């Protein structure tokens, strides 16, 4: 039986890698649904490759374009809008939701799938950062697992397999350090968009590449590891590993240290997530361990990455703080990528928002949406974007 996949965010960097893996293993998978925001050219190509897939173009103009240019596509289209993702889940009833959407917008379909008992392979870390508590509750009550796609968490799930949390002394998430890791600290503030997007090891979408340069991405991953593996924050540390070959290390109480290694190719963690809990042979390029560069690990420099401390503060505060952190970051990164603010202002915007939005506990999806709304409103009023 083929695993029937619904791939949200299929035209983004992770989504394209998911389809690459799927197309290498046609005997394993069938794509029953695809979604994109506005890249209709690529979405139409993907629909042609996967002729039984329903699709969603989230942007209303993109939706109309898709239908107008190919009227036979109308039957396969799902109406966009606030409930578009949920409609696509209902229309396709997949065996696995593969969520590669960027940003907070990915929370709702993740929750809907888990509530319906559909396992979720999750690249959308913002969903766990903002909604970790309610996603875990939904997963527990329906029995549908959340399977990470993030390379560090795929690594962690393998190194932690069979270990009890009390046996774990420390887990180390590795960070490349992003595009600005070797730049003099006083020159970071004025880094251009081009500087920030030149990631040294991973090829990814723009938003996550900026998050790598601020190291907020790693802060999100600490929160993700906390929720997905039940690890207390004090057991999660970050170390700089410029080669991006070691994806995590787990130190156990008997001083054993386990690591997971692989070349920085997103298709490897994706393959693991798509086939979990099985493993299959693959045509993906194999790593030759004797070709690995010299592997180094070093302490992180807090002064270089002030946003990382904001993430830890939000993580420890809990409640709606991680949502404020995430929403403020989405707005600030958007403004940076649009050329409206300097790189160093990303920190300032998040820091101000975290001080301004009232703390609240999170009991439901609506509570998270409300915090997101308040944060956006504050930033609009204060910074104008």
User: Least distance to Mg ion from the beta carbon of 55, Å?
Assistant: 27
In the shown chain, the binding pattern of residues 276 to 305 toward Mg ion, with x for contact by CB under 5 A and - for none, equals: ------------------------------
User: Least distance to Mg ion from the beta carbon of 340, Å?
Assistant: 27
Residues 330-369 that bind Mg ion (CB under 5 A): none
In the shown chain, the binding pattern of residues 48 to 87 toward Mg ion, with x for contact by CB under 5 A and - for none, equals: ----------------------------------------
Residues 34, 37, 38: CA angle, nearest 5 degrees = 110
User: Least distance to Mg ion from the beta carbon of 123, Å?
Assistant: 9
Residues 120-179 that bind Mg ion (CB under 5 A): 150-152
Q: What is the DSSP string of 43-101?
A: HHHHHHHSTT-EEEESSHHHHHHHHHH-GGGGGGB---STTHHHHHHHHH--SEEEE--
* Of residues 115 and 126, the one with the C-beta less far from Mg ion: 126
User: Least distance to Mg ion from the beta carbon of 217, Å?
Assistant: 7
* Of residues 29 and 227, the one with the C-beta less far from Mg ion: 227
Backbone conformation region of residue 162, classed left if phi is above 0, alpha if psi is from -120 to 50, else beta = left
User: Least distance to Mg ion from the beta carbon of 150, Å?
Assistant: 4
With CB under 5 A as the rule, give the number of residues binding Mg ion: 3
Radius of gyration of the chain (CA): 20
* Of residues 116 and 295, the one with the C-beta less far from Mg ion: 295
CA 73 to chain centre: 30
User: Least distance to Mg ion from the beta carbon of 41, Å?
Assistant: 28
CB 311 within 8 A of CB 223: yes
* Of residues 150 and 251, the one with the C-beta less far from Mg ion: 150
* Token pair for 313: 């503060």
224 binds Mg ion (CB under 5 A): no
* Of residues 224 and 367, the one with the C-beta less far from Mg ion: 224
CB 15 within 8 A of CB 9: yes
* Among 309, 155, 170, 313, CA closest to 234: 170
* Of residues 76 and 241, the one with the C-beta less far from Mg ion: 241
User: Least distance to Mg ion from the beta carbon of 140, Å?
Assistant: 25
Question: Is 337 in a helix, a strand, or coil?
Answer: helix
* Of residues 58 and 130, the one with the C-beta less far from Mg ion: 130
Angle between helices 306-317 and 345-356 (to 10 degrees): 20
CB 208 within 8 A of CB 178: no
d(CA 174, CA 158): 15
Q: What is the DSSP string of 216-254?
A: HHHHHHHHHHHHHH---GGGEEEEE-TT--EEEEEEETT
* Of residues 151 and 214, the one with the C-beta less far from Mg ion: 151
Q: Closest residue (Cβ) to Mg ion?
A: 150
Residues 290, 291, 297: CA angle, nearest 5 degrees = 90
In the complex, the residues that contact Mg ion under the rule CB under 5 A are 150-152
């Amino acid at each position: 039986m083929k695993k029937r996949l619904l791939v949200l965010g299929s035209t983004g960097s992770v989504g394209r890698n998911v389809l690459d893996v799927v197309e290498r293993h046609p005997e394993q998978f069938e794509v029953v649904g695809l979604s994109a925001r506005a890249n209709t050219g690529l979405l139409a190509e993907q629909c042609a490759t996967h002729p039984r897939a329903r699709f969603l173009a989230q942007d209303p103009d993109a939706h109309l374009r898709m239908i107008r240019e190919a009227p036979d596509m109308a039957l396969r289209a799902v109406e966009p809008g606030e409930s578009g993702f949920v409609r696509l889940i209902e229309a396709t009833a997949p065996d696995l939701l593969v969520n590669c959407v960027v940003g907070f917008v990915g929370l709702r379909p993740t929750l809907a799938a888990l509530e319906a008992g559909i396992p979720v392979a999750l690249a959308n870390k913002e969903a766990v950062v903002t909604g970790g508590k309610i996603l875990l509750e939904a997963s527990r009550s329906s029995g549908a697992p959340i399977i990470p796609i993030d390379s560090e968490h795929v690594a962690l799930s393998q190194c932690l397999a069979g270990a009890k949390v009390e046996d774990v002394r420390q887990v180390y998430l590795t960070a490349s350090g992003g595009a600005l890791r070797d730049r003099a600290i006083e020159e970071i503030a004025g880094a251009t968009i081009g500087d920030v997007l030149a990631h040294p090891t991973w090829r990814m979408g723009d938003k996550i590449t900026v998050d790598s340069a601020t190291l907020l991405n790693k802060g999100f991953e600490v929160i993700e590891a906390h929720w997905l593996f039940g690890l207390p924050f004090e057991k999660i540390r970050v170390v700089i590993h410029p080669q991006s070959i070691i994806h995590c290390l787990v130190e156990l109480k008997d001083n054993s240290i386990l690591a997971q290694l692989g070349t920085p190719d997103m298709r490897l963690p994706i393959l693991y997530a798509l086939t979990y809990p099985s493993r299959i042979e693959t045509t993906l390029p194999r790593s030759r361990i004797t070709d690995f560069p010299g592997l180094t690990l070093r302490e992180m420099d807090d002064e270089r990455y002030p946003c990382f401390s904001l993430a830890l503060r939000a993580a420890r505060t809990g409640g709606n703080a991680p949502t404020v952190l995430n929403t403020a970051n989405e707005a600030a990164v958007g403004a940076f990528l649009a050329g409206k603010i300097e790189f160093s202002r990303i920190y300032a915007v998040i820091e101000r928002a975290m001080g301004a939005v009232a703390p609240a506990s999170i009991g439901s999806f609506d509570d998270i949406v409300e915090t997101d709304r308040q944060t956006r409103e504050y930033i609009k009023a204060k910074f104008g974007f």
